[in-house]
Amino acid sequence: MQVIIEQGEAWSLMMLITSYAVDNSGFSQDGKQKLRRWRSDRAEGTVEMADLAVAMNETLGTYIDEQTNRQIRGRARFRRKRED
């Protein structure tokens, strides 16, 4: 399976997660300000946001690869990929 998050989708996801963290976490006011600053540095269309989208895709791809448990036909039997 292949999932690719486009930059606009990554921006929306980042905004949702950081907004939730600011509103519902036990962060100090200083911590919330740092998170807001980090978020504003990754505005839609910036190089930082493009880099974050690439990192999100790489991480998601790695996670999906690790969870994949395909059957591989071997000599006279089938085995799971994780048995390697």
| pTM above threshold 0.85 | no
Nearest to 8 by CA among 42, 32, 44: 44
- What is the pLDDT at residue 63? 86
Instruction: Report whether 49 contacts 42 (CB < 8 A).
Output: yes
Helices (H), the chain: 7-24, 29-41, 47-67
CA 64 to chain centre: 11
Round the average pLDDT of the chain to a whole number and report it.
Answer: 87
Rounded mean pLDDT, 15-24: 95
